[in-house]
Amino acid sequence: MKQKMGRYLSFVECRESMGLGVGGGLAMRATISESGRDVVAIAMGPGRRHITKPVCEITYALREEGIDTSVLVVNAGSGVPADAPDMTTGSYFGLDPIEVERIQQFKVALIHLGNVRLHIIYKARLILRNVNIPAIIVAQCPVDYEDFAAIGVKTSKVMPPDDKIQTKGEIVEIVTGVVRGVTCTQDKLDEIVSKVQSMLPEGSR
C-alpha cells in the first residue's frame, strides 16, 4: 500500500516586484505569483485601506490542501469602476487586458474585495464581465446573491432576468466575515477550502 507522508510541495513563480510588509508581504500591484492553473486569488493591492493579510493566509491554506493557488494583485485595485454610483473615492477600479488574459486561464477565481458593500458588488461585476469562469467572493461585510443579481451579475442561487445579465462569469459561492488586517479564523479558512474543493474537477483536488 502506498501512502503519502510529509508536506505537499509546490513551486511558485517569483513575482515581478518586491513584496510589502503590510498584509504579510503580498506583492505590490500589477504582479502575479503563479502556482499552477487551478485557482487565482484576486487581490486589490496593499495599502492603508486595502489590508491584504487575509489573501495571504487563504492562499497558504489552499496550498496546504494541495490546491495550486496563484495570486494576482490588480494594477488598478483602488476605488470603484467608472459605472458605479459611488465615485467619492477619486480613483477608478479596472482590469488591464493582460490581467483579463491571466485570470481566464484558471478554473476558479477567488475574489477578495474588502468591506464596502457597494464597492464589492460593482468590482465583482467588472471582473466577471471580462472573464468567463466561476467565482467565489470573499468579503468582510455581509453581501448575498440578491445584491449581485440586482446589478446583472450571474449567480448560482439567483439569476438576473435574461435581458439584464451583464456578466460572462458567475458567482458560485460567497464567504463573508473575513476581516481585513486580522488573522483569518480557522473556521473561515475551512469554509473557503471546502467551497473551493467543491468547485474543482476531481483530478485537481
Predicted confidence (pLDDT) per residue in 154-184, tens digit = 999 999 999 999 999 999 999 999 988 788 9
pLDDT given at position 75: 79
Cell 465583482 belongs to 124
Instruction: Give the torsion sign (CA, 193, 186, 7, 27).
Output: positive
Question: 22-50: per-residue pLDDT in tens?
Answer: 444 455 555 677 777 899 999 876 554 44
pTM, entire model: 0.83
Residue 12: predicted pLDDT: 47
* Domain ranges, ordered by start, for the chain: 31-195
For 104, residues 6+ apart whose C-beta sits below 8 A from its C-beta are: 131, 132, 133
Q: Does domain 31-195 have CATH number 3.30.70?
A: no
Task: List the one residue out of 115, 121, 107 whose CA is nearest residue 41.
Answer: 107
Report d(CA 50, CA 99) in Å as an integer.
Answer: 19
As a residue count, the chain comes to 205
